[in-house]
Amino acid sequence: MSDITIYELEAAINFWRSRSPSSGDELVLCKEASALSKPYALMIVQRQTVLPQEGMDEIARAAWDSYVSLKNGLTK
């Protein structure tokens, strides 16, 4: 498994936000963007530029894997 850069993680969050925009009066993020925002915030606070894939919880990992699959499918 490879590491995920902060830029890749940000791109994944933006991908999910554009696919499923925030909703409701509270502007709640979709579950995928929300799951990825947690490790993203930790990376910022801890001043990290890369995150091992194993460092994500199950929901964030599923969101990441789906993003990669969809992105690869869209670029082929």
- Cα–Cα dist 56/39, whole Å: 7
**31, 63, 41, 29 alpha-carbon torsion, rounded to 10°:** -20
Percent residues over pLDDT 70 in the chain: 95
Tokens found for residue 50: 């890369």
Domain count, the chain: 1
- pLDDT tens digit at each of 76 positions of the chain: 689 999 999 999 999 999 988 877 778 889 999 999 999 999 999 999 999 988 899 999 999 999 999 988 875 4
Domain carrying residue 56: 3-75
SS3 call for 62: helix
What DSSP character marks residue 27?
T
**Residues 3, 50: contact at Cβ < 8 Å?**
yes
